[in-house]
């Protein structure tokens, strides 16, 4: 059964006041800007725990935590797992107990025993050599910190590294975009040349002012194809998977963000795949290489947690199609509620493909 609800665009156009304290992100497909819409769509359902199976930046997990839910975040990238540990594990007082500027200063202090994997393997690829040495030095220093401090530093450093990359990605060996003497936007050039530590201090301030309301959650780092091994029992599963684009081209997050995983496991920097110019250090298999594989994964999620609600984020032009997703829920006997945020600009241009949907499926036995 399908019930359609249109949540018209006000929540998308309004300033994001409720979630202003949440850290911003430069992550492809982040739902950070859509949190008011997701919140409105989810708030009237009855659930107390959530699994965010493809958690990315954990922005949505942080929102659910804010709503008082117990949140389990999962992502197959090590860096995203670390982000989940930081944002779901922090409390106002645990963060207040950390002197973030002093922590950052120590993390960049000269370490005579520093290794040089980044300098040796990635010279000329992503960052200039002085910054490659800084990354090596930073990683060597991480051993001196407690696990909680090291995770916070990794989270901050990863965000700083993203900010200093053209397109905020690691999918091309394109350092020359930074170094070549060509006209470029002043904003980009300034952000790229700003030191890691300066970006980290700014984000550290943001983290210090975040209230981290809600219960402490947990983060996992598993491939969603292996959910049988995931020992959690959530009331709602939030799914924001890597849809293929309208031409059936898959989006491989591991090729976009692989380099950040080296902050979590330094030895990965020696394992770059030389077959590709950008030497990815952490390519992962995914069922989302084909629309059929993605649908099979959704089906296995419903089989694994048959009593949980499924909330599926969907952008109007992805593959598999929204009709195919709804057909799976419908076939499994779920009652479907569809919430749609129509971006005002796109609505005016009549591009109705550019909607953001949240489909909430409720198992019949809960209705």
Span near ligand SAM by CB under 6 A; candidates 4-12, 76-84, 147-155, 359-367: 76-84
Q: Which of 318, 321, 299 lies closest to 310, judged by CA? A: 299
* 72 interacts with ligand SAM by CB under 6 A: no
Residues 239-278, one symbol each (x = binds ligand SAM by CB under 6 A, - = not), give -xxx----------x-------------------------
Edge-to-edge strand list for the sheet holding 49-52: 2-6, 334-342, 355-363, 309-315, 236-239, 49-52, 70-74, 218-220
Contacting residue, 27, 47, 126, 196, with ligand SAM by CB under 6 A: 27
Contacting residue, 57, 141, 337, 340, with ligand SAM by CB under 6 A: 57
Nearer to ligand SAM, 65 or 178 (CB): 65
Minimum CB–partner distance for residue 242 and ligand SAM (Å) = 5
Contacting residue, 155, 196, 288, 314, with ligand SAM by CB under 6 A: 288
227 vs 119: CA distance, rounded Å: 37
* 170 interacts with ligand SAM by CB under 6 A: no
* 60 interacts with ligand SAM by CB under 6 A: yes
Do 234 and 55 touch, CB atoms closer than 8 A?
Answer: no
Nearer to ligand SAM, 91 or 254 (CB): 254
Minimum CB–partner distance for residue 220 and ligand SAM (Å) = 9
Minimum CB–partner distance for residue 56 and ligand SAM (Å) = 3
Q: Which of 48, 2, 68, 55 lies closest to 25, judged by CA? A: 55
Q: Which two tokens stand for residue 204?
A: 């550290």
Contacting residue, 24, 111, 223, 351, with ligand SAM by CB under 6 A: 223
- Please tell me the count of residues contacting ligand SAM according to CB under 6 A: 22
Do 260 and 158 touch, CB atoms closer than 8 A?
Answer: yes
Q: Which of 308, 355, 298, 356 lies closest to 328, judged by CA? A: 298
* 77 interacts with ligand SAM by CB under 6 A: yes
DSSP class per residue in 99-134: -HHHHHHHHTS--TT---HHHHHHTTTSS-HHHHHH
* 356 interacts with ligand SAM by CB under 6 A: no
- How big, in percent rounded to 5, are the helix, strand and coil portions of the chain? 50, 15, 40
* 56 interacts with ligand SAM by CB under 6 A: yes
Sign of the dihedral through C-alpha 310, 315, 318, 322 = positive
Minimum CB–partner distance for residue 354 and ligand SAM (Å) = 16
Residue ranges that bind ligand SAM, judged by CB under 6 A: 27, 29-31, 54, 56-57, 59-60, 75-77, 80, 223-225, 240-242, 253, 286, 288
């Amino acid at each position: 059964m399908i019930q359609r609800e249109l949540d018209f665009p006000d929540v998308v156009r309004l300033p994001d006041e409720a979630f202003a304290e949440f850290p911003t992100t430069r992550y492809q497909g982040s739902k950070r800007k859509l949190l008011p819409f997701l919140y409105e769509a989810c708030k009237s359902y009855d659930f107390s725990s959530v699994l965010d199976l493809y958690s990315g930046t954990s922005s949505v997990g942080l929102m659910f935590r804010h709503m008082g839910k117990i949140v389990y975040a999962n992502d197959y990238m090590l860096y995203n797992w670390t982000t989940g540990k930081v944002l779901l594990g922090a409390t106002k007082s645990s963060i207040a107990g950390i002197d973030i500027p002093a922590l950052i200063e120590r993390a960049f202090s000269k370490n005579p025993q520093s290794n040089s994997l980044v300098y040796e393997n990635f010279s000329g690829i992503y960052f200039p050599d002085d910054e490659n040495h800084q990354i090596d030095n930073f990683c060597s220093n991480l051993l001196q910190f407690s696990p909680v401090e090291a995770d916070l530093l990794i989270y901050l450093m990863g965000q700083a590294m993203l900010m200093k990359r053209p397109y905020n990605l690691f999918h091309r060996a394109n350092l020359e975009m930074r170094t070549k003497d060509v006209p470029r936007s002043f904003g980009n050039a300034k952000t790229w040349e700003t030191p890691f530590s300066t970006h980290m201090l700014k984000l550290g301030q943001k983290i210090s002012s975040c209230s981290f309301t809600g219960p402490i959650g947990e983060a996992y780092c598993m491939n969603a194809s292996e959910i049988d091994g995931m020992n959690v029992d959530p009331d709602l599963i939030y799914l924001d998977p890597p849809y293929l684009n309208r031409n059936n081209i898959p989006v491989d997050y591991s090729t976009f963000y692989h380099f950040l995983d080296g902050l979590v496991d330094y030895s990965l920097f020696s394992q770059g795949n030389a077959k590709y110019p950008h030497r990815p250090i952490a390519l992962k298999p995914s069922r989302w290489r084909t629309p059929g594989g993605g649908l099979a994964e959704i089906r296995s999620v419903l089989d694994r947690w048959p009593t949980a609600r499924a909330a599926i984020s969907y952008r109007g032009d992805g593959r598999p199609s929204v009709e195919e997703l709804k057909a799976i829920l419908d076939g499994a006997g779920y009652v479907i509620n569809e919430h749609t945020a129509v971006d005002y600009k796109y609505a005016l241009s009549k591009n109705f493909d550019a909607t953001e949907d949240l489909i909430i499926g409720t198992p019949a036995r809960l209705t």
